[in-house]
């Protein structure tokens, strides 16, 4: 994990009970192997939507990364391209620091310039309402008001060494949602596994290996315009971790039922804010709402038949552990879940 850790002291007790999902014949796979990549090629995407009033936000936290500069957003080579970022040292990340020598290259991926439905036009040919709900496109930031200079929004976490949009569709914030589905790790006898060093129980979460870069990640995705975050969480989990769109109709109906039960619980909102994503630029960046859905008893979500779909190359239950690396700053969200549930980290 390369970003600075925040000191988490969530003190509000959780109210999430066990999630009740009937038994499924297929056993989930388990895995604790991790790959890592910093400069590979995440896919585009770029739609935004509504905040969700359905989420439990009693212990929600806007976990600003202000205490530590973004790191992955300054990766030397922009993902999916040959474009090298202008190197930005830690002490020059802040826009408040004068730096006349800063001359970053511009880059917008051909897939974005082709104007798919999820992408904005070029800034010269339209007039977006920044820091506002712009029609169905949410251009507000979880981080508060961002600056707009020469008609272009400025990354609230500072310089990235690259201007324009890169692989991201929207100028300014590109909103995503990340469902963190967890259970306790159990041994063959069904007892919770205690970590030998921390002496705390080990949590597992449903992870996907992203096709675009091979990194393990939370199965999140972009919020469509006008879509509630609670629906995005459910849709992305269904498509990426259960491959709902590809299963036969009979199994699909069974799965829909189980998924509805899982996401009927309000979940525990762990994080909302900026994502230290390698696709970020000076003018376009990722933000997310991360929500934890926990299977306390181990007999509900654990029984769901994991199958990779959409952007996922693989899917697996994976141990939550600080020594493993994950896409963007997903480690930060997992750490928050572990701390909140008094689990090993």
> How many C-beta neighbours within 10 Å does residue 313 have?
12
CB count in 10 Å sphere of residue 115:
12
- CA distance readout (Å), 41 to 117, 212, 330: 21, 5, 17
SS3 of residue 279 by DSSP: coil
Our finding on whether 325 is near ligand RP5 (CB under 6 A) is no
Which one, 120 or 303, has the nearer CB to ligand RP5? 120
DSSP 72: G
Going residue by residue from 271 to 300, which x/- string records binding to ligand RP5, judged by CB under 6 A? ----x-x--------x-x------------
| Site membership for ligand RP5, residue 45 (CB under 6 A) | yes
Residue 221 found at the interface with ligand RP5 (CB under 6 A)? yes
- Please provide the DSSP assignment of 239-262 as one string: HHHS-GGGS-HHHHHHHHHHHHHH
For residue 268 the two structure tokens come to 């525990």
218 touches ligand RP5 (CB under 6 A) = yes
90: CB partners within 8 A, 6+ apart: 69
**Binds ligand RP5 by CB under 6 A, chosen from 60, 119, 176, 312:** 176
Q: Considering the rule CB under 6 A, would residue 42 count as an interface residue with ligand RP5?
A: yes
- Cβ at position 173, least distance to ligand RP5 in Å: 11
Quick check: 43 binds ligand RP5 (CB under 6 A)?
Answer: yes
The nearer residue to ligand RP5, 169 or 201, going by C-beta atoms, is: 169
Cβ atoms of 136 and 226 within 8 Å: the answer is yes
> Cβ closer to ligand RP5: 286 or 304?
286
Quick one: tokens of 301? Answer: 């979500």
Helix (H, G, I), strand (E, B) or coil at 138: strand
> Between residue 83 and residue 142, which ones bind ligand RP5 under the rule CB under 6 A?
none
Q: How far is the CB of 176 from ligand RP5 (least distance, A)?
A: 4
Judged by the rule CB under 6 A, the positions of this chain that interact with ligand RP5 are: 42-43, 45, 176, 178, 217-218, 220-222, 275, 277, 286, 288, 311, 328
């Amino acid at each position: 994990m390369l970003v600075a850790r925040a000191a988490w002291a969530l003190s509000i007790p959780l109210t999430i009970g066990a999630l009740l999902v009937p038994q499924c014949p297929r056993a989930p796979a388990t895995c604790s192997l991790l790959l890592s990549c910093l400069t590979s090629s995440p896919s585009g995407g770029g739609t935004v939507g509504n905040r969700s009033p359905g989420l439990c936000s009693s212990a929600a936290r806007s976990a600003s990364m202000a205490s530590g500069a973004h790191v992955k957003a300054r990766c030397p080579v922009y993902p999916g391209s040959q474009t090298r970022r202008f190197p930005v040292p830690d002490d020059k990340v802040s826009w408040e620091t004068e730096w006349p020598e800063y001359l970053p290259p511009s880059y917008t991926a051909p897939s974005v310039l082709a104007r798919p439905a999820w992408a904005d036009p070029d800034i010269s040919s339209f007039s977006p309402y920044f820091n506002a709900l712009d029609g169905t496109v949410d251009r507000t930031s979880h981080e508060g008001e961002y600056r707009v200079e020469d008609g272009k929004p400025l990354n609230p976490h500072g310089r990235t060494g690259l201007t324009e949009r890169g692989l991201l569709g929207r100028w300014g914030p590109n909103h995503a949602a990340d469902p963190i589905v967890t259970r306790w790790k159990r041994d063959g006898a069904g007892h919770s596994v205690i970590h030998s060093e921390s002496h705390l129980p080990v949590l597992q979460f449903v992870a996907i290996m992203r096709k675009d870069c091979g990194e393990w990640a939370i199965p999140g995705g972009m919020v469509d315009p006008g879509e509630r975050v609670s629906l995005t969480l459910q849709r992305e989990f269904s498509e990426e971790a259960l491959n709902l769109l590809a299963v036969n109709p009979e199994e699909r109906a069974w799965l829909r039922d189980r998924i509805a039960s899982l996401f009927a619980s309000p979940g525990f909102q762990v994080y909302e804010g900026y994502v230290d994503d390698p696709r970020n630029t000076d003018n376009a960046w990722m933000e997310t709402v991360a929500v934890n859905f926990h299977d306390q008893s181990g007999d509900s979500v654990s029984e769901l038949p994991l199958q990779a779909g959409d952007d996922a190359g693989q899917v697996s239950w994976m141990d939550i552990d600080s020594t493993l690396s994950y896409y963007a700053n997903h480690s930060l969200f997992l750490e928050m879940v572990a701390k909140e549930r008094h689990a090993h980290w």
